[in-house]
Amino acid sequence: MNAKIIGTGCQLPAYAADNHYLSTLVETSDEWITERTGIRMRHLAQKETTTSLSVDAAGKALASAGMQASDIDLLIVATITADTETPSTACRVQAEIGAVNAVAFDINAACSGFLYALHIADAFIKSGVYKNALLIGAETLSKLVDWTDRGTCVLFGDGAGAVVLTASKQGGVLSQSVGSNGSKWEVLSCAARPVRNPVCQSKEVPGYLRMDGQEVFKFAVKTVPLCIEDALEKAGLQPEEITHYLLHQANKRIIQTVAKRLKQPEERFPMNIDQCANTSAASLPILLAQMDTQGRLHPGDKLVLSGFGAGLTWGACVLEW
């Protein structure tokens, strides 16, 4: 049995900030941001939370799958921006949507989180442990961003995407290639709460996202083509047999460079980065849900999904729609 996506949904916060607005906060310009990243807008949470965005995306994914929340037996939320340290976002979503029969937990693999969740769900479904899974990638990254740091604040946005997976004899996930390199964790990080207890009063303040942009860029354009090639080989497919390559929406130039390295036309690499910016674990399921709603995905299409991010982490998945 393969894990097959049978429903998708996404939710973006109502408020969208364009590059001109950011140029009122930090020394930057629409021209700089658009040229270097491809980003024009990003959605920012006001009333929305990671949980509320997840619940809305999940509701749409369940409706498009024609399933009830009670049919779900595995619920995973990939996020680095939970609303509570504990319980997990997944448990809060479970309560709100009534997924009473699901085991629910979060995972943290940063921008590769959705790919990792797919990796876990596929293994559980293949082994017969669970049958129907709800996977959500959700972030309110705007709360981790230092809004005085022009090197990072222009890059990120908030949102959530969800998919419903079910066990299927045909199509679905064909292969995966997933990896991590913890020795490079400092390239992109965000410190957690400092230790403050009766025997230690750390002077550190809670952290914001810190990034060596050029290191991340080099890592992405080197590693993503390799893991996509590995996943294609495992699936027994050639690069030209892939209908769409959905890459984590971090930077338009990264996506263009990967397309060149795979010798594939850029038109096969759909993008929404201009409207959504980098929504970390939410970026792939948002893009997938938008393409699904637009009728751009057809039965039998072969898709590659690929993510990369803090950890460092990365992954690619080949699936048949």
**Active site members:** 111, 248, 278
In this structure, which long-range contacts are made by residues 16-19, counting pairs with CB atoms below 8 Å and at least 24 apart in sequence? 16/41, 16/42, 16/43, 16/44, 16/275, 17/41, 17/42, 17/43, 17/44, 19/154
* Binding pattern for the stretch 86-115 against ligand COA, x by CB under 6 A and - elsewhere: -------------------------x----
Q: What is the DSSP letter of 16?
A: E
Pairwise CA distance, residues 260 & 272, whole Å: 19
* Least CB distance to ligand COA at residue 180 (A): 14
Buried b (16+ CB within 10 A) or exposed e, 192-205: eeeeeeeeeeeeee
Pairwise CA distance, residues 296 & 305, whole Å: 15
* Binding pattern for the stretch 47-86 against ligand COA, x by CB under 6 A and - elsewhere: ----------------------------------------
Pairwise CA distance, residues 278 & 103, whole Å: 29
User: In DSSP terms, which residues pair with 166 in a beta bridge?
Assistant: 4, 132
Interface region with ligand COA, contact rule CB under 6 A, candidates 64-72, 93-101, 211-219, 257-265:
211-219
Interface region with ligand COA, contact rule CB under 6 A, candidates 49-57, 89-97, 160-168, 206-214:
206-214
Which one, 97 or 224, has the nearer CB to ligand COA? Answer: 224
Which positions from 131 through 160 interact with ligand COA, judged by CB under 6 A?
150-151, 154
Among 5, 55, 65, 216, binds ligand COA (CB under 6 A): 216
Pairwise CA distance, residues 81 & 94, whole Å: 17
Which one, 10 or 22, has the nearer CB to ligand COA? Answer: 22
DSSP structure string for 55-110: HHHHHHHHHHHT--GGG-SEEEEE-S--SSSSS-HHHHHHHHHT-TT-EEEEE--G
* Least CB distance to ligand COA at residue 84 (A): 24
Pairwise CA distance, residues 151 & 167, whole Å: 43
Which one, 99 or 312, has the nearer CB to ligand COA? Answer: 312
Pairwise CA distance, residues 103 & 94, whole Å: 9
* Least CB distance to ligand COA at residue 19 (A): 9
* Binding pattern for the stretch 238-257 against ligand COA, x by CB under 6 A and - elsewhere: ------------xx------
Among 1, 16, 36, 131, binds ligand COA (CB under 6 A): 36
* Least CB distance to ligand COA at residue 39 (A): 9
Which one, 174 or 288, has the nearer CB to ligand COA? Answer: 288
DSSP structure string for 160-208: EEEEEEEEESSSEEEEEEEEE-GGGGGGEEE--PPPEETTEE--PPPP-
Which positions from 11 through 30 interact with ligand COA, judged by CB under 6 A?
28
* 208 sits near ligand COA (criterion: CB under 6 A): no
Interface region with ligand COA, contact rule CB under 6 A, candidates 75-83, 124-132, 138-146, 210-218:
210-218
Among 309, 315, 316, 321, binds ligand COA (CB under 6 A): 309
Residues making contact with ligand COA (CB under 6 A): 28, 32-33, 36-37, 111, 150-151, 154, 211, 213-214, 216-217, 250-251, 278, 309
